[in-house]
Amino acid sequence: MADSIEMDLVRHVSALRRYARALTGSEHDADDLVQECLARALGRIGLFRGVTNVRAYLFSMLHNAHIDRMKAVRRRGGVVAIEGCAGELAQAPEQPGASELRDVARAMQDLPEEQREVLLLVGLEGMSYKETSQILNVPIGTVMSRLSRGREALRQRLAAPASPRTVLRRVK
Amino acid sequence: MTYRPLSSPLTDEDLHLYVDGQLAPERQAEVEAVLATMPELRRRVDGYREQNIALHQLYDAPLPAMPAEMRAQVDRLRHAVDRRRRVRHGFGVAAGIALCIVAGAAAHRAIESVETRADQIAAFTSRAATAHSLYADDRAAVARMQVGEDKGAALAAALSNLTGATPMQAPDLEPLGFRLIGGQLVPAQGKAALHYLYENGAGARVSLYVGRTTEDGSVDFTFASRDGMSAFFWRHGATAFTLIGPMTQEALLDMARAVGPQLVPRQPAGQPKVDEVATGAPATAQPAAPAPAAAPSEPRTPAPAAAADKAADMPAPAEPAAKGEIPPPPKGVPVDAGETKQTNT
């Protein structure tokens, strides 16, 4: 039993790390953010014990940590915008299709963060729209409209240079 | 439910739900039918799908090993979850009961009424499980639950009040090797419920939880188990009972059979029919346990491993509430038994 709890938690934390990487575009910032998120969960351990959807709860802690961090960055000022770091993402340039994937990464990073979050939670993490609305603490209709705008923006942008379909076929 | 070519206009939301596999099956068929006739829309949907694939290709790269600090945090969280399981596994038990009842009784009743009934039983059993897990393992809490003469009388009065029969004493489980080590009144939905705690020679603790329900009507012994915990629920009229502890189903049934008749109001008509155990686990396939009276001094102490085997038989419990919602922490603040003397009728 303990093993499966352990496995679940490790899986959740791997997902948090992946999401945080995609969100911040930086390996270092991502793990910092995940640790901050886990620290928050540990700080409210009484609440954590009552949680039924551990994964969504941890993601909401991560989201809150991220929001607070962004506020602090803005207060301090003069820090390189996270949005500018898309190129850091791990993807060997030699890999076929890598440059097209980098286009996707860049397009993602150029999206407004609120749309990027929704695209990642739904498209990458497989969260339901309801879970996403709980994680981001916004109405489900807002999740819908961010998803819709984000996907359409990404599609338009990627459709311009080359059809994303052929690109992705080739990557596979 | 009736299929029409398009029950409502296709929306943007439909398309995204379709891409993410979150559409209801009927609607999915409708959307597919529309997409088959609209290649432009089809391409848009495919584009969205490919974005999801691209996101995985981009971000699914293997992660470097967890930093030591993060690893330590995960360990601490795991311990918290372990404890959470112990505190909250009652909700799992309750969900298990709901499944048992739906499986066992659906043939005789309309599904809705069964679900309502199952929900109520599940809710009651989860409160019992919560009370058990909050107090049974906590030495200080058990010490506070000790029943002296005065408190014993107050609890007995409350028990009489709950069961609608006077006079009534805490059920005697000594013949099965369990002695009463504590009792308390706990709040349950604005009313008082009674929680008795028993212990055997090997230190295994079993809780008896008694309360009033809004539902009326008798329910036979209904079994559920999870993570080595077993529970039996039953009800006479509007008075409900749950016996819960780290026992095998067989051992707990012996106890339920011993307790049940002791809590029945005078009229014998209300007795539960213990032979008709509604259960998802193979209770009746096992040989009958020895009669309680036959082994008065032999404590029944099932090995935890045996209980764990039973737990494995249970279907995975459904989430008690909507996923992702954070339920309030369990309420279990004991009410001082002395204050409720006047509740005796």
- DSSP-assigned states of every residue in A22-50: HHHS-HHHHHHHHHHHHHHHHHTHHHHHT
Share of chain A above pLDDT 90, in %: 43
Chain-chain contact of A124 with B55 (C-beta, under 8 angstroms):
yes
Of A1-10, B87-96, B216-225, B298-307, the range with the lowest mean pLDDT is B298-307
- Could you tell me if A31 and B68 are in contact, meaning their C-beta atoms sit under 8 angstroms apart? no
Is a pLDDT exceeding 80 seen at residue B246? yes
The tokens for B327 are: 């339920």
CA distance B151 to B182: 10
Look up residue B72 and give its amino acid.
A
Share of chain B above pLDDT 90, in %: 10
CA distance A115 to A148: 9
Q: Work out how many CB contacts closer than 8 A connect A with B.
A: 163
CA distance B82 to B85: 5
Residue numbers in A near B63 (CB within 8 A): 14, 17-18
> Per mean pLDDT, which of B52-61, B227-236, B302-311, B330-339 is the most reliable?
B52-61
CA distance B127 to A53: 20
pLDDT (tens digit, 9 = 90+) per residue, B275-302?
443 433 343 333 443 434 333 444 444 4
A4 inside 8 A of chain B by CB: no
Closest CA to B179 of B155, B151, B201, B153: B201
Which pLDDT belongs to residue A15? 93
pLDDT (tens digit, 9 = 90+) per residue, B140-163?
777 778 887 777 888 888 888 887
Residue numbers in A near B60 (CB within 8 A): 18
CA distance B182 to B179: 9
Is a pLDDT exceeding 50 seen at residue A1? no
Residue numbers in B near A158 (CB within 8 A): 47
Rg (CA), chain B: 25
CA distance B195 to B135: 10
In Å, how far are B127, B141, B195, B223, B245 from B199, measured between CA atoms? 20, 14, 13, 20, 10
CA distance B119 to B95: 8
Chain-chain contact of A123 with B20 (C-beta, under 8 angstroms):
yes
Chain-chain contact of A52 with B82 (C-beta, under 8 angstroms):
no
State the DSSP code for B335: B
Cα within 13 Å of Cα(B308), Cβ side: 5
CA distance B218 to B170: 21
Give the chain A residue whose CA is nearest to the CA of B88: A50
In Å, how far are A8, B20, B87 from A12, measured between CA atoms? 6, 20, 22
pLDDT (tens digit, 9 = 90+) per residue, B124-145?
777 787 778 777 877 777 777 8
Closest CA to B183 of B123, B217, B135, B231: B135
CA distance B222 to B121: 9
Residue numbers in B near A148 (CB within 8 A): 12-13, 16
Is a pLDDT exceeding 90 seen at residue A78? no
Q: What is the 3-state secondary structure (H, E, C) of B243-300?
A: EEECCCHHHHHHHHHHHHHHCCCCCHHHCCCCCCCECCCCCCCCCCCCCHHHCCCCCC
In Å, how far are B96, B145, B196, B250, B344 from B157, measured between CA atoms? 32, 16, 13, 31, 5
CA distance A35 to B307: 37
Q: In what order do the strands lie in the sheet with B219-226?
A: B178-188, B191-200, B205-212, B239-245, B229-236, B219-226
Nearest to B59 among A22, A148, A165 (CB): A22
pLDDT (tens digit, 9 = 90+) per residue, B19-59?
988 888 888 888 989 999 999 999 999 999 889 888 888 88
Residue numbers in A near B55 (CB within 8 A): 22, 104, 108, 119-120, 123-124
Give the chain A residue whose CA is nearest to the CA of B326: A51
Contacts of B178 (CB under 8 A, 6+ apart): B198, B199, B200, B206, B255, B299
Nearest to A6 among B20, B78, B321 (CB): B78
Residues shown for chain A? 172
The tokens for B297 are: 């001094």
A81 confidence band (pLDDT: 50, 70, 90): very low
- DSSP-assigned states of every residue in A59-73: HHHHHHHHHHHHHHH
Secondary element (H or E) of residue B3? none
More confident: A14 or B262: A14
Chain-chain contact of B55 with A53 (C-beta, under 8 angstroms):
no
Q: Which long-range contacts (CB under 8 A, 24 or more apart) does A106-110 make?
A: A107/A153, A107/A154, A107/A157, A107/A158, A108/A22, A108/A154, A108/B55, A108/B58, A109/A25, A109/A83, A109/A84, A109/A85, A110/A83, A110/A86, A110/A157
Give the chain B residue whose CA is nearest to the CA of A147: B16
State the DSSP code for B176: G
Which pLDDT belongs to residue B193? 85
CA distance A21 to B234: 52
Q: What is the least distance, in Å, from the CA of B177 to any CA of chain A?
A: 29
The tokens for B306 are: 């045996």
Q: What is the least distance, in Å, from the CA of A15 to any CA of chain B?
A: 9
Chain-chain contact of A34 with B70 (C-beta, under 8 angstroms):
yes
> Per mean pLDDT, which of A20-29, B65-74, B324-333 is the most reliable?
B65-74
Which pLDDT belongs to residue B315? 40
> Per mean pLDDT, which of B149-153, B171-175, B272-276 is the most reliable?
B171-175
Chain-chain contact of B77 with A27 (C-beta, under 8 angstroms):
no
Chain A interface, best mutation among B55, B126, B319, by max A CB count within 10 A: B55
Residue numbers in B near A123 (CB within 8 A): 20, 51-52, 55
Is a pLDDT exceeding 90 seen at residue B304? no
Is a pLDDT exceeding 90 seen at residue B6? no
Peptide bond into B167 cis (omega under 30): yes
- Could you tell me if B123 and B92 are in contact, meaning their C-beta atoms sit under 8 angstroms apart? no
